[in-house]
Copies of this chain bind each other. A is one copy, B any other.
Amino acid sequence: MPEPDIFRALADPTRRAVFERLSAAELTVSDLTRGFAVSQPAISQHLSVLKGAGMVAERRQGRQAWYRAAPGALEGLEAWVTRYRSFWPERVEALKDVLKEMGE
């Protein structure tokens, strides 16, 4: 039930790679196009899908379009994973360690 669009958005490897780059930095379409072996329209189409899934945000400035990963982009996916996680108590200890680390 957490928007099925996100699953479809994640299905394509190029699109995942685009998202990963946008989670590290805000980039323009041109920037992204330079980093991949596909055409600029292909990148624009991927961005459109990612945007439709609520995974990226757009900021217009002049003739440029800056894209970045949306805050909470993976929230719906996280909720789904948590719900259908199997044997999850196994991982609690590791999680506690992470939280302790962050508390320092």
- Tell whether, in the assembled complex, residue A84 and residue B69 are in contact, meaning their CB atoms are under 8 Å apart: yes
CB of A58, distance to nearest CB on chain B (Å): 15
Copies, count? 2
- Tell whether, in the assembled complex, residue B20 and residue A11 are in contact, meaning their CB atoms are under 8 Å apart: no
Chain B minimum-CB-distance residue to A77: B81
CB of A49, distance to nearest CB on chain B (Å): 12
CB neighbours (8 Å) of A16 from chain B are 7
Count of interface residues, chain A, beta-carbon cutoff 8 Å: 30
CB neighbours (8 Å) of A92 from chain B are 99, 102
Tell me the bound Cα distance from A99 to B97 in angstroms.
12
CB neighbours (8 Å) of A89 from chain B are 102
CB of A88, distance to nearest CB on chain B (Å): 9
- Tell whether, in the assembled complex, residue B86 and residue A72 are in contact, meaning their CB atoms are under 8 Å apart: yes
Chain B minimum-CB-distance residue to A10: B7
Interface string of A59-100 (1 = CB under 8 A from B): 000000000011111100110010011110110100110010
CB of A52, distance to nearest CB on chain B (Å): 15
- Tell whether, in the assembled complex, residue B81 and residue A69 are in contact, meaning their CB atoms are under 8 Å apart: no
